[in-house]
Structure 1
Amino acid sequence: MGTKSEPVLIRDAVADDIPAMVELLAQLFSIEQDFVPDAEKQGRGLALLLVQPGAQVLVAEREGGVVGMISVQTLISTAEGGAVGLVEDLVVGEGHRGEGIGGRLLRGMEARASEMGLSRLQLLADSDNAPALDFYTRRGWRRTSLLALRRNS
């Protein structure tokens, strides 16, 4: 487990990071109502994200290990008349929470989105995950009137 005195590097994810990111997603999905941890599926999805044009994945690295991650995917918004980003999978490992790593990942992705020319970022969060909702609100994110719906094909 790291301490606040150990430096954290925010960098682009690479294929070698996938196993650690799968572990992080297992932690995230274990507290989300709509998702179930599945290492094979999450590994496959991460591999696709890493090569997808318009997608970005950042990781937080401490002492050579990945301790956090965030991703964004580009979408086209007719309301905005251009590209926007869907932020997904912001997660910091259990032993590293409360140290500002999540905020650094989010700021890093916000800066990256600006560089990409994205006019808006949006994300989904569990409606009953008060700590996550508070985290985003404190950082200037606001709730919308939109409600997420889903249908498997």
Structure 2
Amino acid sequence: MLSALEVVTTVAVGLMVGVEFSVAFVMNPIFNALPEDSNQQAHSHGGRMLGAMMPVWYIGSLVLVAVWAVAGWHHRGTGLVVTAGALLILSVVMSLLLLVPINNRNKTWTPENRPADWKQQMKRWDRFHYVRVAVIVGAFTLLVTALT
């Protein structure tokens, strides 16, 4: 049963990392290459769509890691799992304090009501997102290492 939990947790976190990596290094560069109105609308739509899905994914992944840490407490690699959990907690805190406030504004913007500094706000979101991606890649790497 523990092996199944380990695999499910690692796959869930890995998929989350893949989505966030794709946002940072594939989708946002595509959006940024679009004309200004389309660029902003794409970011706004992405913010609404992923803003609804990612909190469940982040919290669900964190819960799975916590269950793995408790269930496997006396097994080898638990320290790595606990450290991965700490990194996922950091990613949630970063999200709530740094990224969500910008995203909550962004998802309501239209070409008619966006603020003059919308591009600067999106660049700030991107910088925070790069750090968050690095944090969750670290967590994923620890989980994969704990499997060996």
TM-score (norm 1): 0.26
Largest Rg, 1 or 2: 2
TM-score (norm 2): 0.26
Greater fraction of residues in helix? 2
